[in-house]
Structure 1
Amino acid sequence: MPLNRLRLPSLAVLFLAALASGCGSHTRMPPEARASLDRTLTGPEAVQYLRLSANVTPFFGDASKRLLTPYAPEDVRLLDDTKGKPISPGAVERIIPAGTKLRITKVEFPTSWVVAERVLYTPRTWPWVYLTEEGAPAGPPLVLVLPPNLERPEDFRTELEKYLAPRELTAQLDALPPAVKDAVREKRLVANMPLDAVRMAWGPPEQVRRTLEGTAKNEEWTYPAGRRKAFLTDGRLTRAEEAGKPLLP
């Protein structure tokens, strides 16, 4: 009997030691690099500007947060159900337009401790960047989910810079024609839109296919799930599709 009483504490100690040593962690970035990123990004670099217009949706099964994503909910590929089918985070609640001032409040990596504390039906094994919108009423934090297995700080920053810019985008936005600027704010596309404006409206494509037709440079942008496509010639939008249907007149 005394021997049995000793076994449970021993197993608990082994379990805790395994967690502390990184067993079950979903990040390969060294602890000192993670800590340095969090200190820098929530300190001197905390203020950022949204590089593209983004949707705000529910955060899957966690009602205390909101997802910030450039993609439509049906195109989000962060969490699968038991049959391997993507789960939608929920309907769009609002759009935050490109150029909006944000503040990074926390950078959270999926260590074993963190994953254990996160709500089950969320993208628990991905890095999360917590943000607040400057001047907006208090509410749930916005979470930008970055790809897993970012091994180096520079890899993390490269991904983050797809969505956030360290400087205001006022001049870049004001240079757009009014109709294009409105489309960017509303996450719409309009004919002859410049390449940068397409990216600001729909976000970065998952795949880009480039071809030459005479002297014309063509690009086919495919978004997650292949449901949306944008076609550009010489840096200008010529047509777009959603679920195989044309979007532009």
Structure 2
Amino acid sequence: MKRLLVVLLVLLGAGCKSHTQIAPDDRALLEQTLTGPESNRFLRLSMHITPFFGDASKRLLTPYPPEDVLLLNDTQGKTVHPGGIEATLPAGAKARIRQVEFPTAWVVTERILYTPRTWPWVYVDVEGAPPGPPLVLVLPPHLKKREEFLAEVDRFLSTQDPAAKLAAFSEPVREAIRQKKAVTDMPAEALEMAWGYPETVRRTLEGTVRNEEWIYPGGRRRAFLSDGRLVRVEEAAAPALNLSPGSK
């Protein structure tokens, strides 16, 4: 029986390769660092909570609306969406990193099929989140070095309290950030805190005026800024959500 178990484990490992390029020593150091003194952080951006695709034991923490979450495709190449928005947490909310999970061969075999199981997962507690399964922040799979991983975590979970930065904005802008809305004339930094990071930025110069077009994942949302201030936005209608089989 023991020999059979060993054979099965070997076959499982052979059928599912590791999807992390970070060295084992660096992974151990990252886990120790991020869940130690640096575990206490703040949301750098306002974030949505949604279901975690087909895994009811977790919830997704994301800066984007579910229809713009591009982490997973089905067998036909269509984007699989995590599920509808359950709650929204404001930028500046206190957060704590509970666990860092890398997509090693063994970890991937234990994750549910219709989830972004080949990406790194960071488990986070956030003040003000409604009770429920743990929140997971999904990070890009291409990270190769410890410094890259730390920088990516910091893009969403800051070690610095942004309270002073938020206080410098007008109350309408602060409220827009809390609700993940865009309002005319809000500073670029405030728009980033509200809508999250654009996928692409196109820059042009008209005389002395610096124009930017921020294009968000999927191209459905676009923001137009002049000299660092929001002028207007374009938002196409949200498509029907294509949910994973485990969510139906």
* Same-fold status (TM-score > 0.5): yes
| Aligned AA (1:15) | L
Distance (Å, rounded) in 1 between the aligned partners of 2:5 and 2:49: 45
Tell me the equivalent position of 2:206.
213
The SS at the match of 1:156 is helix
Q: Deviations over 1:33-82 (max 9, x none)?
A: 00100110000100010001011000000111110000010000011111
Q: Structure 1 residues 83, 131: closer, same or farther in 2, change over 3 A? A: same
- Aligned-pair CA distance for 1:135: 6.0
1:37 is matched by which residue type in structure 2? L
Indicate how the Cα distance of structure 1 residues 239 and 152 shifts in structure 2: closer, same or farther if over 3 A, else same: same
Residues 9 and 161 of structure 1: is their aligned pair in 2 closer, same or farther, counting only changes over 3 Å?
Answer: closer
SS at match of 1:162: helix
Match of 2:244 in 1: none
When residues 214 and 79 of structure 1 are mapped into structure 2, their CA distance, relative to the original with a 3 A threshold, is same
Amino acid at match of 2:173: V
Quick one: which amino acid aligns to residue 164 of structure 2? A
Matched, 1:96 2:89: yes
Give yes or no for contact 1:41–1:104 (8 Å, CA) kept in 2. Answer: yes
Name 1:157's counterpart in structure 2: 150
Task: State the distance in 1 between where 2:65 and 2:5 align.
Answer: 48
**Residue 47 of structure 1 contacts residue 101 of structure 1 at CA under 8 Å; is this kept in 2?**
yes
Q: Secondary structure at the match of 2:133?
A: coil
Which residue is equivalent to 2:11? 15
Aligned to 2:108, which of 108, 115, 121? 115
Cα distance in 1, alignment partners of residues 128 and 170 from structure 2: 27
Q: 1:224 to 1:112 in 2, by over 3 A?
A: same
> CA contact under 8 A between 1:66 and 1:143: conserved in structure 2?
yes
How much has 1:219 moved relative to structure 2?
A: 0.8
SS in 2 for 1:238: strand
What is the alpha-carbon root mean square deviation over aligned residues? 2.1
Partner residue, 2:48: 55
Where structure 2 has 5 or more consecutive residues not aligned to the other structure, the ranges are 239-248
1:242 Cα deviation (Å)?
A: 0.5
> Please, what TM-score do these two structures have when normalized by structure 2?
0.90
Question: Contact 1:42/1:104 (CA < 8 Å) preserved in 2?
Answer: yes
Percent of matched pairs sharing the same residue: 59
Q: Which runs of 5+ in 1 are unaligned?
A: none
